[in-house]
């Protein structure tokens, strides 16, 4: 399935959907599919300031740990606490109910990010 | 059903497996000696079993386990060699077993001589003049050496902040560096498995404290440029650390001290035959060159002019201590007995036979399995079942589990990280040719089997594949009484 | 006895100089294997080692010994040590002489346990895994905590790791420790934190021998990660932990208790005292003295700290057939996955000793452990009462104590101890070993193994030793 066109993507498989002054952040379907069985998610506290490209949390499978990296800079306004306890939405609906963070004061260079089509091409390359 | 109850589930009130003589001094008159608010109120929660039940329970548990004494463990980087029984007998004797670590030196001359001799053996084997036997395991040895390295640079008024680590390195290397306050930078490997000199050279700046290397490296290849690398490091006063996990390949044949290494650790539970005990104990002594000696932990073993031994805790520049007392004495003793069974005259046979066995096993498998680093190796080699994964969706885990059905413990899987679907095999020198023939035959057989058999494996073990996801998501980490 | 000098050895030839029981390859085997590999001799397999790195000449090492010779050599070395069988020892300070039931040693001798590797392939190693689960359960039960790991190296290491856990959890850099913590543990902590921008403050003991609550309160601040207290403390005194827990938590720090496992049969547990982390040395649980190691570090904590716990942890799960089974879990905390971001660098731990402790606890059971603890305390108090009747001899502390006590001899201790040693008694540890200036005091430990006759002899010999001193 092609990646949604209403948002931007990072090389480390996070997405960001900007709506005016706020943005939502999550993990892509490609990433969730690659990790397979998630056993743990750690998300930051509300109020934390994030730096573009730097880790803000982790996702873990049994055998591996993956940093979650901020696509752009911003302040954490809300965290999807439900997903920290129950990963099902993340696996089944990573672009909707599986959202991870809402940010405010979003800043940074959006041209460093990819659109849906470019991200799909990137994944196809990486897979080989 | 193949469950074994927990010892708590075999408990019945009033049963005992050990009793003690009656108290032969007056009992306490009242509670004054132990005030009420200092007393334990909660029940102890320990099992109550008879001696027969205790012995039967743990004997049965042992039967749900395997060891080197029951089968080959071709685990790369673990050096699972035979654990000699005479070592167990001798270390268990009263004179070694029942001595307190704080006894006066004149009452433990035998123990101090054991430590002294072990230091001498390790020094000769490694070419490192100064040895410290204190660290309890390889990882602690790494940390100790890095602390020594930092103290050395501090003494010279320098503050390099980085440790370089090959991407093929064991996880303890970067973890130990981080514990020491260093930042870790990863160096790439070449296609032939060795450290990429072109990637390495520009990284060696005055901000580098140390490069940690394993030689042969974790894919079983000898890093022949190690002296050149040592030269580059020394030009900026950086240190070269030798991870001794693979010492079995060169013990008695080549010495880290001659390769330009400044410091190293030994894994006594690998190279020197002490039992792995299900995960420990081990011992991780370190060796260093003279310029680092002043910083080694205390206490040090000294020999006085009259030939007697003592422990000396006074060393002005020592980094201090990394554990209570002097070290895992019982393990160091076993290692020394092992070494003395080979002597200086037999020492190099260990490495020679280990390398012979590894090359033989590789030769038996390389026509069928992809060996990314060619036809020759040192004491261990890596295969990749990436082709099998692509063609038949059977990966390293599936091979490991199917080997269990034939009674074999798997090789090391998914390490080093630079090889996808890695199987790392180390057929140590204590294994006979027939054992290697059988292992190779089984691996070839499994490779030809219906993938469904591998996916379902193991079926011949006490338990099948475990739900590790469930174990991590909903951790149950202790037994609790059902109330 | 000297280190034997090397006899003549030849190194040039790659032929086997003698048969060895751990090397099964016959010349015929070697020939066949070289053939399959496609080389002429073993030396060919070492060509990748540059010639200038290959060892030439002999090493300064003695020649090999056969098993009979090894026995002779090491029996002689062992005989140079005065074991607790030969000397009547009252040494404690973190290592204790307890009776270990025969079953412990026999079960530990099952080679499916001791020659086994870490149970990373759980289907074949349920024995070790279940034993570790039982161990973790025992440690939780004893300490009153929620979760235990599968062992650390020893007590000092456990204390250092507990402090680093607190540092990671709170993000703070200051550690406050009671002066009653084992001096070697404090040294280990200092070494471990040398390069980690950490402040270590030691809070004094009060006149009665217990940690001074007021002093600790004054030292706790918003930068404190943890307060650490030992119970019993190094000098044998029983601490009153509750008020400390309150003060520590009010400052947002973690409360760490270093405890003695046998004492937990009678003393208030860390869980009951409000501790966040419990740690200590498990050697008392059936593990031989062995000149200081291998021992057993234990560490247990409240459930909310589980992700900060270092080392391996065993968990319960189900297998593909629906059976209960055990597996190493939460491995993403560890070095082989996390590398430089791991909670700790520990890999090899002390599994076999954890097994020993579990078997010991199963052997003695709750009643037995209470007896071991109670008898040791009763015998220690009996001894102390008798000793303090000797003129000039008194206890250094006034607060309640357990089975270890600090005795002030009134005169220089080292000379008295030498006299006692000549009578076959190691009367205690001179405090001057760790505390310069405390020249007249010794630390005396008594356990369940000390018969009354031995204690009476101790009193008589000390009385005589002190009287001789007065005369001279």
- A24-72 pLDDT tens trace: 999 999 999 988 889 999 999 999 999 999 999 999 998 888 999 999 9
Average the pLDDT over B9-35 and give the result: 94
Contact C338 A64 (CB under 8 A): no
B113 touching C, CB under 8 A? yes
Indicate if the pLDDT at residue C7 is higher than 50.
no
- B230-285 pLDDT tens trace: 999 999 999 999 999 999 999 999 999 999 999 999 999 999 999 999 999 999 99
Residue A2 maps to a domain: no
Nearest CB neighbour to B67, from listed C112, C123, C433: C112
Average the pLDDT over B292-318 and give the result: 97
Q: Which chains touch C (3 or more CB pairs under 8 A)?
A: A, B
Contact A40 B414 (CB under 8 A): no
Residue A38: other Cβ atoms inside 10 A: 21
Residue B223: strand, helix, or coil: coil
* Cα–Cα distance measured from residue B272 to residue B285, given in angstroms and rounded to the nearest whole number: 12
Average pLDDT, chain C: 94
Contact A62 B469 (CB under 8 A): yes
Contact in structure between B263 and B288 (CB atoms under 8 Å): yes
Which residues in chain B (403-462) have CB-CB distances under 8 A to chain A?
414
Average the pLDDT over B439-445 and give the result: 98
B245 touching C, CB under 8 A? no
Nearest CB neighbour to B345, from listed C54, C63, C378: C63
Distance from CA of C149 to the nearest CA of B (A): 9
DSSP characters over C414-438: HHHHHHHHHTTEE--EEGGGTSTT-
* Cα–Cα distance measured from residue B79 to residue B273, given in angstroms and rounded to the nearest whole number: 8
- C428-464 pLDDT tens trace: 999 999 999 999 999 999 999 999 999 999 999 999 9
Q: What is the DSSP letter of C181?
A: S
Nearest CB neighbour to C153, from listed B34, B137, B342: B137
Contact C348 B138 (CB under 8 A): yes
Residue-level pLDDT at C323: 95
Residue A56 maps to a domain: yes
Indicate if the pLDDT at residue C13 is higher than 80.
no
Residue-level pLDDT at B433: 98
Closest CA to C145 of C225, C254, C285: C254
- A87-127 pLDDT tens trace: 899 989 999 999 999 999 999 888 989 999 999 999 988 76
Distance from CA of C351 to the nearest CA of A (A): 22
A62 touching B, CB under 8 A? yes
Q: What is the band of B1 on the pLDDT scale with cuts at 50, 70, 90?
A: low
Per-residue b or e along C279-308, where b marks 16 or more CB atoms closer than 10 Å to that residue's CB: bbbbbbbbbbbbbbbbbbbbbbbbeebbbb
A40 touching C, CB under 8 A? yes
Indicate if the pLDDT at residue C11 is higher than 50.
no
Residue C330: closest C-alpha in chain A: A62
Residues of C with CB under 8 A from a CB of A: 331-332, 337-338, 341
Indicate if the pLDDT at residue C12 is higher than 60.
no
Contacts of B472 in chain A (CB under 8 A): 39-40, 60, 62
Average pLDDT, chain B: 96
* Cα–Cα distance measured from residue B241 to residue B286, given in angstroms and rounded to the nearest whole number: 10
Q: Which of B390, B466, B473, B474 to mutate to test the interface with A (most CBs of A within 10 A)?
A: B473
* Cα–Cα distance measured from residue B244 to residue B138, given in angstroms and rounded to the nearest whole number: 8
Indicate if the pLDDT at residue B169 is higher than 90.
no
Residue A3 maps to a domain: no
∠ CA C148-C349-C171, nearest 5°, is 55
Phi, psi of C265 (to 5 degrees): -65, -30
Whether a cis peptide bond, with omega within 30° of 0, leads into B127 is: no
Nearest CB neighbour to C337, from listed A39, A40, A63: A63
Residue-level pLDDT at C14: 41
Indicate if the pLDDT at residue C471 is higher than 80.
no
Contacts of C425 in chain B (CB under 8 A): none
Contact A60 B472 (CB under 8 A): yes
More confident of the two residues B366 and C341:
B366
Residue-level pLDDT at C6: 40
Average the pLDDT over C336-347 and give the result: 84
Distance from CA of C472 to the nearest CA of B (A): 24
Contact A40 C341 (CB under 8 A): no
Residue A75 maps to a domain: yes
Residue A71: strand, helix, or coil: coil
More confident of the two residues B483 and A114:
A114
**Number of folded domains in chain A?**
1
Contact C355 B278 (CB under 8 A): yes
Contact B475 C330 (CB under 8 A): yes
Contacts of B101 in chain C (CB under 8 A): 95, 289, 291-293
Residue-level pLDDT at C1: 32
Residue A15: strand, helix, or coil: strand
Phi, psi of B211 (to 5 degrees): -115, 130
Contact A60 C338 (CB under 8 A): no
| Cβ neighbours of residue C444 closer than 8 Å, sequence gap 6 or more | C90, C92, C380, C383, C384, C404, C405, C406, C407, C427, C428
Distance from CA of C164 to the nearest CA of B (A): 10
* Cα–Cα distance measured from residue C372 to residue C375, given in angstroms and rounded to the nearest whole number: 5
Nearest CB neighbour to C42, from listed B24, B322, B352: B352
A60 touching B, CB under 8 A? yes
More confident of the two residues A37 and C155:
C155
- B42-69 pLDDT tens trace: 999 999 999 999 999 999 999 999 999 9
Residue A60: closest C-alpha in chain C: C332
Residue A1 maps to a domain: no
Map B189-201 to HEC letters.
Answer: ECCCCCECHHHHH
DSSP characters over C326-372: EEEE-GGGSHHHHGGGSS----S--HHHHHHHHHHHHHHHHHHHHHH
Contacts of A39 in chain B (CB under 8 A): 469, 472-473
Contact C112 B18 (CB under 8 A): no
Residue-level pLDDT at C98: 98
Residue B30: strand, helix, or coil: coil
* Greatest Cα pair distance in chain C: 84
Alpha carbon distances (Å) from B199 to B167, B260, B360: 12, 20, 33
Q: What is the band of C16 on the pLDDT scale with cuts at 50, 70, 90?
A: low
Q: What is the band of A128 on the pLDDT scale with cuts at 50, 70, 90?
A: low
* Cα–Cα distance measured from residue B281 to residue C296, given in angstroms and rounded to the nearest whole number: 9
B469 touching A, CB under 8 A? yes
Task: Show the domain range for A72.
Answer: 8-109+117-127
Residue-level pLDDT at C8: 37
Residue-level pLDDT at C15: 54
Q: Which chains touch A (3 or more CB pairs under 8 A)?
A: B, C
Residue-level pLDDT at C10: 37
Contacts of C61 in chain B (CB under 8 A): 120-121, 124, 343-344, 347
Q: Which CATH number fits the domain that encloses residue A56?
A: 2.40.50.100
- This prediction has a pTM of 0.95
């Amino acid at each position: 399935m092609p990646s949604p066109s209403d948002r931007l993507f990072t090389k480390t498989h996070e997405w960001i959907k900007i709506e005016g002054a706020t943005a939502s952040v999550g993990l892509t379907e490609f990433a969730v599919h690659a990790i397979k069985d998630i056993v743990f998610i750690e998300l930051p506290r509300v109020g934390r300031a994030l730096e573009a490209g730097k880790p803000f949390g982790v996702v873990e499978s049994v055998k591996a740990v993956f940093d979650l990296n901020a696509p752009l800079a911003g302040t954490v306004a809300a965290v999807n606490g439900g997903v920290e306890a129950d990963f099902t939405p993340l696996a089944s609906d990573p672009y909707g109910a599986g959202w991870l963070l809402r940010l405010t004061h979003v800043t940074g260079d959006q041209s460093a990010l990819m659109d849906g089509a470019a991200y799909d091409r990137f994944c196809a390359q990486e897979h080989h | 059903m193949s469950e074994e109850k927990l010892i708590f589930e075999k408990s019945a009130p009033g049963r005992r497996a050990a009793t003690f003589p009656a108290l032969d001094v007056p009992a306490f008159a009242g509670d004054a000696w132990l005030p009420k608010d200092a007393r334990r109120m909660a029940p102890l929660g320990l099992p109550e079993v008879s001696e027969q039940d205790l012995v039967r329970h743990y004997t049965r548990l042992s039967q749900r386990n395997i060891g080197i004494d029951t089968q080959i463990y071709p685990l790369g980087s673990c050096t699972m060699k035979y654990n000699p029984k005479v070592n167990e007998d001798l270390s268990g004797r009263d004179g070694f077993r029942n001595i307190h670590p704080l006894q006066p030196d004149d009452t433990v001359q035998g123990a101090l001589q054991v430590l002294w001799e072990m230091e001498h053996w390790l020094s000769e084997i490694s070419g490192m003049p100064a040895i410290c036997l204190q660290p309890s395991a390889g990882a602690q040895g790494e940390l100790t050496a890095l602390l020594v390295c930092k103290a050395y640079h501090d003494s010279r008024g320098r503050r390099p902040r980085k440790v370089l680590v090959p991407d093929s390195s064991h996880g303890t290397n970067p973890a130990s560096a981080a514990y020491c306050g260093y930042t870790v930078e990863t160096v790439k490997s070449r296609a032939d498995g060795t450290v990429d000199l072109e990637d390495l050279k520009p990284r060696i700046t005055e901000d580098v404290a140390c490069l940690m290397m394993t030689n042969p490296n974790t894919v079983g290849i000898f890093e022949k440029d190690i002296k050149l690398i040592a030269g580059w490091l020394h030009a900026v006063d950086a240190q070269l650390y030798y991870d001794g996990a693979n010492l079995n390949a060169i013990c008695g044949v080549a010495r880290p001290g001659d390769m330009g290494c400044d410091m190293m650790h030994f894994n006594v539970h690998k190279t020197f035959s002490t039992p792995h005990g299900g995960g420990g104990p081990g011992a991780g002594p370190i060796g260093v060159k003279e310029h680092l000696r002043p910083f080694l932990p205390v206490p040090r073993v000294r020999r006085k002019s009259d030939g007697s031994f003592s422990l000396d805790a006074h060393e002005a520049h020592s980094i201090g201590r990394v554990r209570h007392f002097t070290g895992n004495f019982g393990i160091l003793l076993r290692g020394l007995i092992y070494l003395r069974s080979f002597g200086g005259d037999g020492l190099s046979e260990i490495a020679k036979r280990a390398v012979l066995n590894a090359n033989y096993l590789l030769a038996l498998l390389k026509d069928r399995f992809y060996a990314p680093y060619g036809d020759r190796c040192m004491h261990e080699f890596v295969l990749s079942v990436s082709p099998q994964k692509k063609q038949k969706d059977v990966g390293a885990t599936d091979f490991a589990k199917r080997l269990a059905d034939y009674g074999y413990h798997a090789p090391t899987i998914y390490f080093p990280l630079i090889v996808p679907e890695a199987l790392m095999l180390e057929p140590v020198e204590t294994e006979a040719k027939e054992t290697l023939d059988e292992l190779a035959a089984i691996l070839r057989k499994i490779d030809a089997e219906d993938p469904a058999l591998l996916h379902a494996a193991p079926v011949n073990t006490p338990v099948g594949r475990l739900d590790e996801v469930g174990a991590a998501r909903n951790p149950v980490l202790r037994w609790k009484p059902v109330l | 006895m000297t280190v034997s000098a090397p006899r003549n050895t030849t190194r040039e030839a790659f032929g086997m100089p003698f048969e060895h029981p751990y090397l099964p390859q016959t010349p015929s085997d070697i020939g066949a294997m070289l053939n399959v590999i496609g080389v002429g001799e073993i030396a060919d397999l070492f060509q990748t080692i540059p010639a200038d790195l290959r060892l030439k000449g002999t090493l300064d090492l003695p020649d090999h010994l056969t098993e009979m010779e090894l026995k002779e050599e090491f029996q002689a070395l062992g005989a140079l040590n005065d074991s607790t069988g030969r000397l009547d020892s009252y040494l404690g300070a973190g290592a204790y002489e307890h009776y270990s039931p025969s079953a412990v040693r026999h079960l530990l001798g099952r080679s499916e346990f001791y020659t086994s590797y870490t149970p990373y392939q759980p289907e074949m190693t349920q024995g070790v895994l279940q034993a570790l689960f039982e161990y973790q359960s025992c440690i939780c039960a004893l300490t009153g905590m929620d979760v235990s790991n599968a062992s650390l190296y020893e007590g000092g290491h456990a204390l250092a790791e507990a402090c680093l856990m607190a540092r990671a959890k709170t993000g703070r850099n200051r550690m406050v420790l009671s002066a009653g913590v084992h001096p070697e543990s404090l040294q280990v902590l200092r070494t471990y934190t040398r390069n980690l921008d950490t402040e270590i403050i030691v809070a004094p003991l009060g006149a009665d021998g217990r940690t001074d609550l007021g002093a600790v309160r004054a030292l706790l601040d918003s930068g404190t990660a943890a307060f650490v207290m030992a119970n019993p403390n190094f000098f044998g005194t029983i601490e009153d932990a509750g008020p400390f827990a309150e003060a520590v938590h009010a400052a947002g720090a973690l409360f760490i208790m270093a405890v003695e496992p046998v004492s937990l049969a009678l003393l208030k547990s860390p869980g009951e005292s409000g501790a966040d982390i419990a740690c200590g040395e498990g050697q008392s649980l059936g593990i031989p003295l062995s000149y200081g190691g291998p021992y057993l570090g234990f560490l247990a904590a409240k459930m909310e700290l589980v992700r900060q716990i270092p080392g391996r942890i065993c968990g319960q799960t189900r297998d593909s057939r629906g059976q209960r089974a055990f597996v190493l879990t939460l491995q993403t905390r560890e070095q082989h996955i996390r590398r430089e971001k791991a909670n700790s660098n520990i890999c090899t731990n002390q599994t076999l000793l954890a097994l020993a402790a579990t078997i010991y606890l199963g052997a003695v059971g709750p009643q037995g452990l209470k007896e071991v603890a109670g008898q040791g305390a009763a015998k220690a108090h009996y001894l102390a009462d008798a000793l303090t009747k000797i003129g000039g001899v008194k206890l250094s502390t006034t607060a309640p104590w357990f089975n270890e006590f600090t005795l002030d001899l009134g005169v220089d201790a080292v000379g008295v101890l030498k006299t006692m040693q000549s009578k076959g008694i190691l009367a205690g540890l001179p405090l001057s070993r760790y505390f310069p200036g405390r020249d007249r005091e010794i630390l005396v430990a008594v356990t369940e193994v000390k018969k009354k006759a031995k204690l009476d002899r101790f009193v008589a010999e000390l009385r005589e030793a002190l009287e001789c001193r007065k005369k001279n």
